[in-house]
Structure 1
Amino acid sequence: MNRNVRIAFIIDYIESPTAGTEKQLNTILENLDGRTFQPCLCILRASDWSRSEYKGEIYHAEIPSFRSLSFVPRLIRLARFLKENEFDIVHTFHRDGDLFGTMAARLAGIPVIVGSRRDQGYWLNRKERALRKLIRRFQTHFITNAHSTKRQMIAQERIPEGIIEVIPNGIDLSLFAPSDARESLRAEWGAEAGDILVGCVATLRPVKDHDGVIRGFAQACSENPRLKLVLVGDGRCRPDLERLASELGVRSRVEFLGKRKDVPRILSALDAGLLFSKSESMSNTILEYLAAGLPVVCSDVGDAGEMVDDANGALVPSGDVRALATGLIGLADADARARMGAESRRRSREYEIGMCMERFKAFYTGCLS
């Protein structure tokens, strides 16, 4: 091929490139080798971010749901765009991106159609499984970010192992250097000398099990009153979680920060990271904790066990509130936290963005060979 490889990355909507899949897609777009590839971001439904903040090549397809008859001509228009611009690869993300992107790529005759699996399908119902099965026959390759998800794809979806590539999430380690904001942030949150600040960065929705986080934290506080919990993220569960913290007598020790764009800065002020999800594939949040050099207490879901063990934190069964409390109590010793944090930072180097992008480069070029 005498020109750069053209790749269309198709996703339904990006409000902000801070959520898991959106963050990783934006990382790929920013770091993909421009000497070899020419990427284009295709958005099905525009947002303020996609219209005004994204600086790369972009196409707004404006495809609504199946409920609108206008999706047919707009789907055809997307297919025409892919064909006329001679894309070599289409890589799709999220439910509608997979569905409409795969259909458009098939209509356009794109030779390589890559599907994504970046969660373990906790949200799938019978209808969604049927739609996924329908489009799967047209997808030539798959990328997942977790070995556990690959095993699930083989066992439950009967996808051949040879067309599934595992590429872990990548991270720019330079963003997680120590910050001089540590003491000012801790003072802002009312932390006193000797307090142990544990942060949980996750959207406030049921799958992240913040209810269990607060219950486990309350149990741990009964044995170590120096613990303080910092919740980063927002969502419809927030009023219920604030009420629960009050009922359990720990509201004064829980900071609700809401949605934030300065996560690396916040992590620099913490003593440990926490995630108690019911389902994950490979968690960006855990990866950020590692990069920030934090001990990690997390539930054993997805590929968490490949990133966290006794050497850098505690891996606990999902939903086991008492085990979570025990993990938090184990953070009491400052020297132990320092050792675990150093091990976390060492492990984060395995996910450095440059290494990750080399794997994407090899995968995309291999698809066309």
Structure 2
Amino acid sequence: MSKSGLRGWCAKLARDIGRTLGGRALVAAEAEALRAEARLREAIDALPEGVVFLDAEGRYVLWNRRYAEIYHRSADLFRPGARLADTLRVGVARGDYPDAVGREDEWLAARMRKLTSPTGERHEQRLADGRWLMIEERRTADGGIIGLRVDITQLKRQAADLEDALHHAEAASRAKSDFLADMSHELRTPLNGVMGLAQALEAGDLADDQRAILAEIVKSARALDDLVNNLLDYGDAERATDSTPATGSIVHAPDAPPLRVLAADDNPTNRKVIELMLGAAGAEVVSVEDGAQAVQAWRSGAFDLVLMDLRMPVMDGLDAIRAIRRAEGAGLPRAPIIVISANTAPGDLEASKAAGADRHIAKPVRAETLFEAISEVLEQGP
């Protein structure tokens, strides 16, 4: 992300405020603008997918670290005021886009049509290093463009593997189930990070322009969430369990200040989301990366609640839940356990219940859904 571009934007905001309030107020406004800039930059850079903002003329305004990593062959061309169209032309000349080879003008014309008339329609893009991206671009309220870049390389490979597997009738059903489970995990896990961080930021003190950018991020993330649901096609009954969208009603956090929570998730962004959500309610959160660490931490510390992901290295969430329940059977106190997972097929829900989980909620997790589940399991008691 361009620090100079974002800094200039925030400085302009501070100057506008300063013309009204005067000298001393200007100093305070500039300080607040710098703090707001730092918060916004940190939040956008924490997003696991590439994000870019363009002005109404298609010129770079700001972009996050992940966007620069995805397009590392062209990152030397990124600067505020430069045109994305010019970056694309240089990239085509360098051979960054294999599908453009031999049809450069046609490829550029098609890409420019999508860029100049962004409708939110998703399309794929292949890069020279073999990666595949899903691109979504839409207009912002001020006439600019917000663009999302999601790396779908692994999903493309899995889709190719699935196509091969379908030729073998005996393996077809198993391959389809595995593919859907992998797709759910790979897409919903970063979505949980995007939507969770955005929700945490919404509660903060942001300027109107910053809040507008945040609203565009949330809108795009929710559109991507809808796409995931359509792709997986689980069915309304399966998605309804603990994953119903918010209706606008306010769900208050439980009485959390004395609450000590153990959270296990191998994704650092998702751990940060849980820490932000529960930390805002006054809870103490201890985070670990896998099931084995979760069992060890639970044995060594008094926790009021355990939040458990399912797919983790070393020991998965189901095995960790079973280990905790076995230890409880040996005399340790019972801990309420809530599974938070991108996998919500009926088999996943049944497996969580059989292992000993009290609830199973879906990623991307909303704060109100999490607090509601926590309140229910705590009220139920041991």
With normalisation by structure 1, the TM-score equals 0.27
Higher Cα Rg: structure 1 or 2? 2
Higher share in helix: 2
With normalisation by structure 2, the TM-score equals 0.26
Higher relative contact order (CA 8 A, sep 6+): 1
